[in-house]
Amino acid sequence: MQNDPALFREASLHVLQDASLHRFLKSGTQHFSDARLSAITKIPEWEQLRQRSHEIRKHTLEHLDEYLAELESRITSRGGHVHWAPNANSACEYICQVASRNAVQVAVKSKSTVTEEIGLRQQLADRGVEVVETDMGEFVVQLAGEAPFHILAPAMHKNRHQVAELFSRKLGVAASADISELNQIARGVLRDKFATAGMGITGVNFAVAETGTIVILENEGNARLCTSLPSVHVAVMGIEKVVPRLTDLEILLRMLPRAATGQKISSYISFLSGPASSDEQGGPKEFHLVLVDNGRTRILADEHTRSTLYCIRCGACANVCPVYSNVGGHAYGGAYSGPIGAILVPQLLGLERAPDLPFASSLCGACSDVCPVKIPIPEVLLHLRRQINSSAEIHGPQKKRIATKRLLMRLWAAVMKNERLYGLAGIAFGRFIRCFVRHGSIRTAPGPLKEWTRTRDFPVPPKKPFRALWKEVQ
Amino acid sequence: MATAQSNRATVIDAIRSALNGSHRNGLPDNVTPVSAPSTEFLIRQFIDNATAVGSQVAVATTPAAAVQLVRQWLDEAHTTECIYVPTPLMEKLGLCRAAFPEFKPLPNWDQDAARSLLLNAAIGLNESTAGISSTGTLVEISGSDKSRLVSLLPRIHVSILPVEHIYADLFAWLNRSYVAAGEWLRSSMTLITGPSRSADIEQTLTKGVHGPIRVCVLLVDF
């Protein structure tokens, strides 16, 4: 487990070399992928909706300052507070001050990737605030001291026995590997925390500018608890999550649950407009919305990559990505993983801190096919690759790789353009690679194939190439 | 630390300079037709979709039937405590403490003694503001003397819903409620579709994780 995107290459081996973890990841992503496909097949107008959603996101970003100002004005007129955070530190500092002013000892938190991005939990912990993750998967990875593995299923990499062992060790309960029982144990522990927490922290799926409403989708009910029991609610959102009007929101609400888990609608959707009114029983007396920039305005400025900000965090791209479904979320070393992570993390952190991520792709385009808001991810990846390759700041090994790749591409082009060369190259390569057959398979090969064969076998070429067989048949 | 004003200015200026020179397009309206099928169709569709997500739905065509159905659900739960939020409709149906000794009024969350009742009550009973038939969804809006906790903390949520408040889809509901102005823009609106669920451990579905394990909807049709 690591949190440095520059270590992607090494980290990606972890899942590949662990057969059972690899199986879990493959079946988990396949499951989400199938559910998504089944749900959208039932909607003949899906492609039109994708286009509409794309237009809504594009328009919103082109008017981002206006909509954020409208959102703020609506929220403050209802007694809520809005904090504009240029960077992670500013966001965390503000939230810590809210906690301190309210003498908060325990905060309950529902799933929010932006809070991972800004490192909120650690900052609060440093100031003596216990932050408890309440989403079942997040609760498990928090106990294990790990980062979330997948945006929708943070504990996808843990089987029931591992969870039972974890609960027994960390919670001091005798937990059996029964999934129902494990959920009930977590429910009981978290109930206590919900009841006594002084602050609830959530993310935001969408924020409607027209009405000053934040919208949270979930299936478990923990976000509802975080926003109903504690007397202070802090919602954290990236500035790009704003939506102009309720009617635009309605379109996006048709997209997100289907693209994410294949549901028509999630079990709960909360529309929260400011703090609870004085005549209401319960509900937060204080509401804070933290708007996080943290590099997003830099992405906004580049029209080639602005579409990165269209993302509605559904996870569909990760589920169909051949890279993600083989290496998992931890390898990316950042809050965001999969195809969206490959374009977002380098842009948020700086290209030189995550130079491998835009190259972690075969450019198959499956991600842009499934993206509900039609982000052209392969185009953005290529743009980032060009920027990295021409950047003066890239380090030694990367420069060598670029030079090698250029040479190999030139050689390959020359061979492919010449029929005779192609034939000769085929025979020569076949003879060469067959030298490495051991017990009927090629487990390791030298040179550029060494990396390839670290985690897979190379196919054994036949003694006679197809071209020779074809000649014989003629 | 920078002041609130300067933080705001920093972010807004960064956005404006990022957008400098960008073409700003307009945004077309959502032209989904406002669906208004017959009540019979809406009831049928609501029952189908609510059942598909695991809710239990029953239709009462008389007050006596309503009382009997709620009695049945309470008996099945073997409970002596049901938190309830009275409404004029519920009084009219006879769903009151006189007929149901288990009914306990909503306690004030701020009082410690009351927390235990809310946290441990087996059933929460309230009236939903509306229903959405395309997904089998209940709509709850916060208001005076109501609480978001009644349909959230107890294991079983019983909702009373008059059939004339069922809308075809979310767009129709938003169109009706927001265009009609005011009422729903309370501090909270919650859409509830079925029981609480999670599939975080081994992708295996479990119900009643944080929210209710069971949702019972009484459709009032008379």
Distance to chain B for A398, nearest Cα, Å: 30
Distance (Å, whole) CA B132 – CA A191: 30
pLDDT of the residue at A270: 97
Angle between helices A338-349 and A377-389 (to 10 degrees): 40
Of A69, A183, A271, the CB nearest to B206: A183
Give the 3-state secondary structure of residue A235. Answer: strand
Q: Do B188 and A270 lie within an 8 Å CB cutoff?
A: yes
Cβ of A341: how many Cβ atoms within 10 Å? 27
pLDDT of the residue at A21: 86
CA distances from A55 to A293, B22, B25, B190 (A): 22, 15, 9, 27
pLDDT of the residue at A18: 87
Give the 3-state secondary structure of residue A229. Answer: coil
For chain B, percent of residues with pLDDT exceeding 90: 64
Q: Do A276 and B1 lie within an 8 Å CB cutoff?
A: no
What pLDDT digit, counting tens, does each position of A332-355 carry? 998 999 999 999 999 999 998 999
Q: Do A183 and B209 lie within an 8 Å CB cutoff?
A: yes
Distance (Å, whole) CA B217 – CA B57: 5
CA geometry: angle A426, A432, A437, nearest 5 deg: 115
DSSP summary character for residue A281: B
- Residues of chain A found within 8 Å of residue B202, distances taken between Cβ atoms: 159-160, 179
Q: Do B189 and A270 lie within an 8 Å CB cutoff?
A: yes
Q: Do B14 and A86 lie within an 8 Å CB cutoff?
A: yes
Query: Is residue B27 classed exposed, middle or buried when 0-12, 13-18 and 19+ CB atoms within 10 A define those classes?
Result: middle
Spell out the alpha helix ranges (H) of chain B: 4-19, 39-52, 63-77, 88-93, 112-120, 170-179
Query: Quick check: A233 contacting B, CB < 8 Å?
Result: no
pLDDT of the residue at A277: 87
Long-range contacts of A412-417 (CB under 8 A, 24+ apart): none
Burial readout B126-139 (b: 16 or more C-beta within 10 A, e: otherwise): bbbbbbbbbbbbbb
pLDDT of the residue at B1: 56
Which residues on adjacent β-strands are paired with residue B125? B84, B158
Which of A53, A138, A196, A271 is most worth mutating to test chain B (most B CB atoms within 10 A of its CB)? Answer: A271
Start-to-end C-alpha separation, chain A: 57
Which residues 12-51 of B have a C-beta within 8 angstroms of A?
A: 12, 14-19, 22-30, 32, 49
Which residues 53-72 of B have a C-beta within 8 angstroms of A?
A: 53
Distance (Å, whole) CA A163 – CA A22: 18
What pLDDT digit, counting tens, does each position of B64-79 carry? 999 999 999 999 998 8
- Stretch B27-46: mean pLDDT, rounded? 88
Start-to-end C-alpha separation, chain B: 62
Which of B110, B198, B203, B207 is most worth mutating to test chain A (most A CB atoms within 10 A of its CB)? Answer: B198
pLDDT of the residue at B180: 56
A–B CB contacts, 8 A cutoff, strictly below: 234
Q: Residue B136, by phi and psi: left (phi above 0), alpha (psi -120 to 50) or beta? A: left
Distance (Å, whole) CA A268 – CA A324: 29
ipTM over 0.90: yes
- Residue count of chain B: 222
Distance to chain A for B62, nearest Cα, Å: 30
CA-based nearest residue in chain A for residue B193: A267
Residue B182 has pLDDT above 60, yes or no: no
Give the 3-state secondary structure of residue A133. Answer: strand
Q: Which residues of chain A have pLDDT under 70?
A: 1-2, 392-396
Distance (Å, whole) CA A77 – CA A71: 10
Confidence band for B181, pLDDT divided at 50, 70 and 90:
low
| Single-letter amino acid code for the residue at B113 | A
Q: Do A220 and B203 lie within an 8 Å CB cutoff?
A: no
Give the 3-state secondary structure of residue A454. Answer: coil
Which residues on adjacent β-strands are paired with residue A84? A291
What pLDDT digit, counting tens, does each position of B127-174 carry? 999 999 999 999 999 887 788 899 999 999 999 999 999 999 999 998
Which pTM does this prediction carry?
0.93
Query: Quick check: A196 contacting B, CB < 8 Å?
Result: no
Residue B113 has pLDDT above 70, yes or no: no
Q: How far is CA A446 from the centre of its chain?
A: 35
- Sheet of A286-292, strands arranged across: A81-85, A286-292, A232-238, A199-202, A106-109, A130-133
